[in-house]
Structure 1
Amino acid sequence: MTPAILLVKKAGVPHDVLSYVHDPKAASYGLEAADALELDPSSVFKTLVVDVDGVGLACAVVPVSGMLNLKAMADALGGRRTTMADQQAAERATGYIVGGISPLAQKRPLPVVLDETAILYERIHVSAGRRGLELALHADDLLMLTRGILAPIARD
């Protein structure tokens, strides 16, 4: 049981926990999850830890089928520039390892920006806090639990 799963259970949020056998040789954690669980990659969201000028570390939650628009992420949080965070800094701040970083129940809660395409799906899938575990939940519940915002931060 991960902190992310415990949080959604405690909050009484409708969800499902999906698991698969993680392959350490997988090139992309998110695409591996989508493939292993036979999910539409557009409904599976990866959590990227970024450093936004003027804000600090934050989480960008975007579909695994796309990429993060760094400028749009800065705009969403009122910053000027965004860079990808150092892996060690991301792991230290969230308490999760890369490939298993969840936007939920982080060690030090970071601002969360969820790509606007999330509202197109009945449920989206995000890391449950460990490689090989995904949480399926409604985008509105994710935003409520993380106090996140919805913004157009993804690009193809």
Structure 2
Amino acid sequence: MDRIDRELLAFLLQDGRATYQELGRQVRLSANTVADRVRRLQAAGIIKGYRAELNLEAFGRGMQMISDIRLGDRVDRHAFERQLADVPQVISAMRLTGDYDFQLRVVCADAREFESVIDRLKADLGVRELRSRLVLHEVSLGLERVLEG
């Protein structure tokens, strides 16, 4: 991966819907050359996909929490991960090292809905302990930083 590939990736992170012509103007290459480079980056697994960024408040899910959880001693983590798919308020889960097993990102309409998520995680998914924090706001530093070094 060279400097031009890194520039293309930085532009795609800003606008994943940019045309090959637009990208070509940015890096001073033809649209066909840019298309070839982007296809190569996709084939290499560097570009995994393209996604829309949603405004969660538009869906009535303006309350976000980060929850560190510890599973019960006999809970199979693979089964837990599969069961998380049935909890729509959980939008991401990361397996951790350290004192907790997972960190969940949870979005809800209000505290009452979050309370029901907690109850479900404990009763149905085997969560033994949960520590949550309310997200006040998020500062996005951008994935472009990965391209710098």
Q: Which of the two has higher C-alpha Rg?
A: 2
Question: TM-score over 0.5 for the alignment?
Answer: no
The two structures have a TM-score, normalised by structure 1, of: 0.21
The two structures have a TM-score, normalised by structure 2, of: 0.21
Larger relative strand fraction: 1
Larger relative helix fraction: 2
